[in-house]
């Protein structure tokens, strides 16, 4: 005599089949959409422009410094003197500053992996650098316009790191709130020290300016590399999750098919 169908067994079998069909449908959708593609938080050329910024800046003051008379002191005198009206072959440092400002603007435009305020501020830094190059320092001393652009560069480069910080869990310490906050404090200290030295006429003003600008010029490159690496790590994690989902769906589909065969038998 045939046994009546058990309602609980029927419900269990129906639930397993429903879950299996759902997983299979999700997997089919992912497979039809193709593998997950990583975004492009950093354009490829952005690494190049970020690298050029410190290289051109340091190269510019080294080359321009060798063209000056013996009376010029890179420890006491600033880069503005090299590009100023009293400088020898001042076009060398002026061209370097123009290229540095252009690279900063390009880096801000291509660094899509950070927030818009950070990108805008980096572009403003580049514009200020162009302003420094476009308002050469006379032999009598810097003009108010030149000082305004120089102070703008010092302020924006000091504030910029804190705008890069990610409140979400970051893959790199340098992109975290603590990392960017630490860099901001360091840059603010260097910029403040430089401004005080400029007002007091410190004998080490040129050396301090070169140290500050060199360190600050490297940070956009560090950020670009960190953001690019974080995107690659995230893309790898997404691909592994996609493959795991496919494997789970196949296993569930095979289990459901086996259960149906056993119950029919």
- pLDDT at residue number 256: 56
Contact 18, 196 (CB under 8 A): no
- pLDDT at residue number 19: 42
Neighbours of 114 (CB within 10 A): 23
pTM strictly above 0.85: no
- CA–CA dist 221, 244 (Å, integer): 35
- pLDDT at residue number 53: 96
- CA–CA dist 252, 236 (Å, integer): 25
- pLDDT at residue number 198: 86
Mean pLDDT, the chain cut into blocks of 10 residues (265 residues total):
49 48 44 39 88 96 94 91 91 96 96 91 96 91 90 91 78 86 94 88 89 93 90 62 57 58 58
All structural domains of the chain = 44-235 (1.20.1070)
- CA–CA dist 179, 6 (Å, integer): 62
Contact 75, 204 (CB under 8 A): yes
- pLDDT at residue number 140: 85
- pLDDT at residue number 38: 41
- pLDDT at residue number 26: 43
- CA–CA dist 260, 48 (Å, integer): 60
- pLDDT at residue number 15: 47
């Amino acid at each position: 005599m045939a046994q009546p169908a058990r309602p609980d067994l029927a419900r269990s079998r129906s639930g397993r089949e429903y879950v299996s069909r759902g997983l299979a449908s999700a997997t089919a959708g992912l497979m039809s959409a193709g593998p997950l593609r990583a975004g492009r938080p950093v354009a490829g050329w952005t690494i190049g422009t970020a690298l050029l910024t410190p290289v051109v800046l340091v190269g510019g003051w080294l080359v321009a410094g060798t063209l000056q008379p013996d009376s010029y002191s890179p420890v006491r005198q600033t880069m503005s003197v090299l590009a100023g009206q009293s400088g020898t072959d001042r076009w060398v440092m002026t061209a370097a500053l123009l290229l540095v400002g252009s690279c900063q603007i390009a880096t801000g435009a291509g660094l899509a992996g950070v927030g818009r305020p950070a990108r805008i501020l980096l572009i403003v830094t580049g514009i200020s650098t162009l302003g420094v190059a476009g308002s050469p320092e006379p032999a009598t001393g810097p003009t108010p316009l030149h000082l305004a652009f120089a102070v703008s560069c010092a302020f924006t480069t000091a504030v910029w790191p804190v705008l890069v910080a990610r409140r979400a869990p970051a893959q790199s310490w340098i992109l975290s709130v603590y990392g960017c906050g630490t860099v901001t404090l360091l840059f603010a200290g260097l910029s403040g020290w430089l401004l005080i030295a400029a007002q007091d006429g410190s004998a080490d003003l040129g050396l301090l300016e070169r140290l500050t600008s060199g360190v600050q010029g490297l940070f956009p490159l560090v950020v670009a590399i960190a953001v690019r690496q974080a995107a690659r790590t995230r893309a790898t994690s997404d691909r592994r999750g996609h493959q795991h989902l496919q494997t789970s769906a196949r296993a569930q589909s095979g289990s459901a098919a086996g259960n149906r065969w056993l119950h029919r038998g």
